[in-house]
Amino acid sequence: MPLPALPALALLSPQHRSLRQKLLISLTAFSVVLLVLLGYSAYRIALEETQEILDKQIKEMAYFLAETSIEHLDSAFRPNHRYDETDVFIDIWTYPIAGNTIPPSIQTASIQAPTTQASSSQKSVPKEDPDHIRLPRLAQPRFQRIHSSRGELKVFVLPLTDRQIQISQQLKVRRHLAQELALNMLVPYVVLVPFLVLGLGLLIRRLFRPVDALQVAIASRSHGDLTPIDTRHLPLEIKPAIDEFNQLFARIEQAQQQQQQFIADAAHELRSPITALNLQLKVLQKTLPPEVTQDRNFSRLQQGLQRMQHLVLQMMTLAHQAAQPVSPQPPTDLAAQVHFVIEQLMLSARKKNIELGMENNSADPLQLAADPAQLQSILFNIVDNAIKYTPIGGEIAIRLSSAAQWVYFVVEDSGPGVAVADYAKLTERFVRLPQVNQDIVGSGLGLAIVHDAVQQLGGTLEFDQADHLGGLLVKVSLPLGTFDAIGDSGQASPVLHTRPD
């Protein structure tokens, strides 16, 4: 069974791509590891210094006792007492007289002490050594570590001619002192660690400001904005990637210009021969007998020419719309433009006996900062599309409303509607849904033209199921124009509002 991932490690996993979090967690983890290493180093240094100082004190104490006349001294150990660095065990005993038996305490030592000739003034038998800490007679002064019932001891032995002085101290006392010194040295660092992490977070946030500004700049760009991204204030680590993006934008812009030029040239070249064919077909329709003009093949020919003519007009509109620069526009009344489009399409609606109605729910004038021709293209394509796919005797409802500096143009029909999964395909170029009646004249460009035009005006295009009529509902949201005072040019200067989140 796999172990659950730690939260800190999860943030460093490939699924989490926040470089800011990775830096902060990595630097914090490095600080903690550094704290542990510093603590261990401080402990080792403090322990060595403590050993050196206390060894020197014990040694000086032993030589001081050597100048005294003390011949015997037994240290006492209290198991329940807590010893510190000032506590030592002092043991002094005289050597045994030659010929005497070596005391049991010396026999139990790790090294057997040799017997020596002693004067009559020396004591013949040492006292008892219940803790077995006395070492045998040594030839030279030295330090030694022993294990006894008192714990691990650091012992300094000073052998004299008549006696031996032994001063010992518990090693755990020295270790405890070294730990206290190390902790005291680390307390300032531990206190400063939270401030260090906070400072690192603020520093990382400050260093990432150019990246945040880049994110905001990219997010605020429109879909058709291919201008180069400013890289002057970007870090050197990401500047090459942005340079590659700028080169990609340049190639895309060049390809779009070539595509637009091709569409415009093709539409222009096709327009004249198709118009001539359409005129010739009308002449034939007038000169040929009715049984020929009413033939099914003749009707298909006429319908094909209409489709081709419609396609050419849509291609020319698309090319003109893509090449049109964005510039301030005078105020345009949306309601007036809707009435104009309805008048143009009323004949098409009557041919199919479609009821075409309009409802304006806004009490204020719906003034838009938009090109009238571009606005008419949006309205015409949406209403014309609704008329095409609404069955004979159907109904189309047009509603206008406004709220919070936005105007809404809604068209719903009683046609067959569109599946929700196919909404995204409605704005794709040259795409017609399989369930669409292929006898209906269309090019697959109408709603694509609407989508691009709405985007240029800073609005949105949405699709939904019509609640009242049961067909497709198309909703266009456009920002209302707020116009400054009349300038020297005699026209109002528009100010566009961006759509809120």
Per-residue pLDDT of 326-343, as tens digits, reads: 566 678 888 888 998 899
CA distance 372 to 380: 12
Phi-psi region of 87 (alpha: psi -120 to 50; beta: other; left: phi over 0): beta
Q: Report, as an integer, the average pLDDT of 434-447.
A: 66
CA distance 237 to 223: 26
pLDDT attached to residue 487: 40
pLDDT attached to residue 319: 66
Domains of the chain: 1-207 (no CATH), 223-323 (1.10.287.130), 327-495 (3.30.565.10)
CA distance 56 to 47: 14
Per-residue pLDDT of 251-294, as tens digits, reads: 988 887 777 777 777 766 676 777 777 777 777 777 877 776 66
Q: Which helix (H) or strand (E) holds 465?
A: strand 460-465
Task: Centre a 10 Å sphere on the Cβ of residue 36 and count the other Cβ atoms it contains.
Answer: 11
Q: Report the sign of the C-alpha dihedral through residues 227, 228, 233, 235, in that order.
A: positive
Backbone angles phi, psi at 459, to 5 degrees: -110, -170
* Sheet with 163-170: strands ordered across: 89-94, 163-170, 151-159, 142-148
Is residue 61 scored above 70 in pLDDT? yes
Phi-psi region of 254 (alpha: psi -120 to 50; beta: other; left: phi over 0): alpha
Q: Is the pTM of this model over 0.75?
A: no
Q: Please report, in angstroms and rounded to a whole number, the separation of the first and last CA atoms in the chain.
A: 45
Is residue 100 scored above 70 in pLDDT? no
Mean pLDDT of the chain: 78
